[in-house]
Amino acid sequence: MAYDLLVKNGRIIDGSGRPAFNGDVAVARGKIVELGRLDGPARRVIEADGRVVAPGFVDNHCHYDAQVLWDPLCTFSSHHGATTVIIGNCSLALAPVKAHERQKLAGMLSYVEAIPMDVLEAGVPWTWETYPEYMSAIGQRLGVNVGTLVGHSAVRLYAMGADCSERPATDAELEAMRRVVREALEAGALGLSITRNMNHFDIAGTRIPAACAPESELFALADVLREAGTGVIQCGGGTNPELKDGLLSRLSQACGRTIMYNTLLEQARQPGRWQKHLAHVEATVKQGIRAIPLCNPGSVVNRFTMKNCQVFRSMPMWLPILQASDDEKLAAYRSAEIRVKLRSEVEAPLGPDSTFSKRWDLMVVEEPALPKNRGLRGQHIAEIAKAQGKHPLDAFLDLAVEENLETVFSLGEINMDAEAVAQILGSPYAVVGLSDGGAHVQFHSNVSNPTRLLGYWVREKGIMSLELAVRRLTFDSASAFGIYDRGLLQPGMAADLVIFDPDTVRPVPEDVVHDFPSNGWRMRELAEGIHYTVVNGEVLMEKGTHTGSYPGRVLHNARYQAA
């Protein structure tokens, strides 16, 4: 048989978790046709030379909804071996949308996911209104495969208009939302995304629409998936309602669909909570309920200045200051009267979804702006305040004001305990993912889930076998999100492959690039040890360089494919 692509002499890890074996992988017409010791003519032969040949990785939560329109490779996920990305997460999407509401919809994505608004204004062409039209627009040129979720906030804005965050929907509006979700599923969307995160606001400081929806609306929309017999539900900020009253488990039981939610993690200010969460998930799974959290192999460190800080945005007194001009920020932070109010919010007990509580020992001066303050580099605010005889908030704001808001701070409180993260990553009751690769672009890149898991956690820490790690990055995500033709190396499956060196694979330290529309800048995180990325049988990336091909496609749900 003549092949389009023949990968020779690889260490094949097929995504199932079974032991690796030595052999070749043959591809024809975008599909895997055979594995073993293979001969025959091929349009292209790749010599793997003993490197791992695995299914392409799935980046299952990345917010590339806008970026995919100007960056069809969804960089830098593709550099880390991702062949599939899933967008429309956390109720946020760019469709459906009416022309006069485009700015408002983009403002939600901009503020919640920290993507500069001027970049969105320059890079999004807005050639669509309906969700099927948006799917068609992004499908015109793709490097990677893209699976889409229809976002509840977008649907609510479309059906209810400007007051979509102010009140319950009428019966007619709810039925309009159900029609939009049904239309998206019929066009092949992978499912619906919702949110229960009460700290997500739009650019005007209004809570995003999906967070304002009553439970009854969630169940009514989820029932559309039950009626269609397809699709997954993804929930942003779903941890708290799930642990409080089992909302997501109840929702999954009612509609019979899998719910993937954010997030199972270790938090420094809530020691032991991850263990309670994991025990809860195990108990619900054993009841046959498919409400599954995502988990992340990386520590989450916020790096920021007080010009672009998001750490305090869940606090009502801080929010308008954070959205003000730099001069207005400086005036507010100098004010003793305003500081009293800001301090009271920081000192108040906050919910688990908030991004900061009074842990000034976790807030570090990463890079002072003034030479005279260089000695503060690497010190945390609590120790600086003690040395200066000040309240930590005063020490923090005094430094920020003195340095004209240019001090670089870092706050690291998530997944900092390596032993806890190792247990979370090894749990069969969670799915690895949640890169946020297209979000928070000026704070971190964070696309390195695959290379971090394979390099740090497998090679250096030895917390799991290489075979299990590959399964966590491929089959587990693909099957959880209803992508049933990918995630395994088996004849008949789509030929999405990654060839990597397990001895060298790792993320490269971040740097800054100006490659966004309107000369926008972002953090870049590249990878080492990823030799080839193959999408639908065509080589997309070769040793970190794009080949010029665009073999990606918009992925569709099981019902659409069957039809």
pLDDT, mean of residues 326-335: 97
pLDDT, mean of residues 101-125: 96
Domain with CATH 2.30.40.10 in the chain: 1-87+434-480+488-563
> Which residues touch 60 (CB under 8 Å, ≥6 apart)?
85, 86, 260, 294, 431, 433, 434, 477, 480, 481
Contact (Cβ atoms closer than 8 angstroms) between residue 388 and residue 371: no
357 or 205, which is more confident? 205
90 three-class SS = helix
Q: Is the pLDDT of residue 413 over 90?
A: no
Joined together, the tokens standing for residue 342 give 């800001």
pTM as predicted: 0.92
The closest alpha carbon to 517, from 66, 141, 127, belongs to 66
Confidence of residue 7 (pLDDT cuts 50, 70, 90): very high
What is the distance between the alpha carbons of residues 546 and 555, in angstroms, rounded to a whole number?
21
Query: Tell me: the pLDDT tens digits for 379-391?
Result: 999 999 999 999 9
Residue with tokens 């900020």: 237
Mean pLDDT, rounded, of the chain: 95
221 or 302, which is more confident? 221
What is the distance between the alpha carbons of residues 193 and 366, in angstroms, rounded to a whole number?
36
Residue 221: the pLDDT is 98
Confidence of residue 308 (pLDDT cuts 50, 70, 90): confident
Residue 144: the pLDDT is 98
Question: What is the third-level CATH fold of 1-87+434-480+488-563?
Answer: Urease, subunit C; domain 1 (2.30.40)
Least confidently predicted of 56-60, 213-217, 301-305, 546-550: 301-305
pLDDT over 70 for what percent of the chain?
A: 98
Q: Is the pLDDT of residue 540 over 70?
A: yes
- The Cβ-side half-sphere exposure at 538, using a 13 Å CA radius, reads 14
409 three-class SS = strand
Residue 302: the pLDDT is 82
What is the distance between the alpha carbons of residues 233 and 248, in angstroms, rounded to a whole number?
10
Residue 203: the pLDDT is 80
Q: Is the pLDDT of residue 349 over 80?
A: no
What is the distance between the alpha carbons of residues 80 and 89, in angstroms, rounded to a whole number?
20
Q: Is the pLDDT of residue 353 over 50?
A: no
Residue 377: the pLDDT is 97
Query: Tell me: the pLDDT tens digits for 133-186?
Result: 999 999 999 999 999 999 999 999 999 999 999 999 999 999 999 999 999 999
Q: What torsion do the CA atoms of 478, 287, 297, 275 make, to the nearest 10 degrees?
A: 180
Q: Which amino acid, 60?
A: N
Contact (Cβ atoms closer than 8 angstroms) between residue 209 and residue 157: yes
Residue 357: the pLDDT is 58
Query: Tell me: the pLDDT tens digits for 354-409?
Result: 555 578 999 999 999 999 999 999 999 999 999 999 999 999 999 999 999 999 99
Query: Tell me: the pLDDT tens digits for 439-451?
Result: 999 988 889 999 9
553 or 445, which is more confident? 553
Joined together, the tokens standing for residue 16 give 């199932």
Residue 356: the pLDDT is 58
Helix H segments across 54-170?
67-70, 102-113, 117-123, 131-138, 152-160
Residue 462: the pLDDT is 97
